[in-house]
Amino acid sequence: MISLHTKARAQRFPDGHGFQGKTTAELTRQVGNAVPVNSAYWLAQRVLPSLN
């Protein structure tokens, strides 16, 4: 089983990032629903020019 810390690292969350929740399921859902920072940046760089 992969730890919450390992899942968060794979999503590129910084070490020590504080997740808010009472259960492991809530915390895991937060990490799982997150868009990785690098992917969000890549997407924003491609969408932004079309908005200007």
Enter the tokens of residue 38.
Answer: 């690098």
pLDDT in tens, 17-52: 899 999 999 999 999 998 888 888 999 999 999 998
**SS3 of residue 39 by DSSP:** helix
For the record, the structure tokens of 47 come out as: 């969408």
5 contacts: CB under 8 Å, gap ≥ 6? none
Written as six digits, the tokens of 15 are 């070490």
d(CA 35, CA 47): 16
pLDDT class for 11, splitting at 50, 70, 90?
confident
pLDDT (0 to 100) of residue 25: 94
Distance CA 5, CA 8 (A): 5
Query: Which token pair is 12?
Result: 């590129």
The whole-number pLDDT of residue 1 equals 87
In this prediction the pTM is: 0.66
Confidence of residue 12 (pLDDT cuts 50, 70, 90): confident
